[in-house]
Amino acid sequence: MSKRKYILFSCLGILTIILDQWSKVWARGALKTLPFGEKQTWIQGYWDMRYSENPGVAFGMFQNLQGGRVILTLVAAFALTMVVLYLRKSEDGHTRLHAALGLIGGGAIGNLIDRITLGRVTDFIVWRYKQYEWPAFNIADAALVIGVGLMVLDMLLAPKARLADKASSDASA
């Protein structure tokens, strides 16, 4: 058994958690003190920083759910357990999948830390284009989205790679 997948998973997970928590501490210090709705523009017309707190999940869903903090914490812990089990069952050579799981695990833990310690998740990154604005998010959210995207890519490409490997091993036999 190779330890490589666990090292990649752990490194990306820990890096995600550190960047996420550091950036949220920065946002709570630098952005929370701004008047409500005020923002820092980083790239005019595209990228702003605006503090918000999300007691729910993506896009503020379930923020008024009775006992939501406990329920959402349990759901996140269950999802993290599933990620680790998936990592354990995965084959050693699936680097893209292991990276994806590390990003998903780190993102889940980053938001779980907020939910447990603050009762809500700190969001502050806002992307805009013309009159369109994406809801505020954070580094953990971005890691989750990138991780899921890598998993989808792995699901689409891995079966083709396995077929090609099987065909070449059949041809050499």
Contacts of 154 by beta carbon, 8 Å cutoff, 6+ apart: 94, 96, 97, 100
Q: What's the start-to-end Cα distance of the chain, in Å?
A: 26
The two three-digit tokens of residue 85, written as one number: 């089990």
Of 45, 42, 18, give the one whose Cα is nearest residue 30.
42
Q: Which of 20, 48, 114, 123 is catalytic?
A: 123
Q: Choosing from 20, 48, 114, 141, which is the catalytic residue? A: 141
DSSP code of residue 90: S
Q: Please enumerate in sequence order all residues whose Cβ is within 8 A of that of 61, keeping only pairs 6 or more positions apart, or say none.
A: none
Instruction: Determine whether 48 is an active site residue.
Output: no
Active site residues: 123, 141
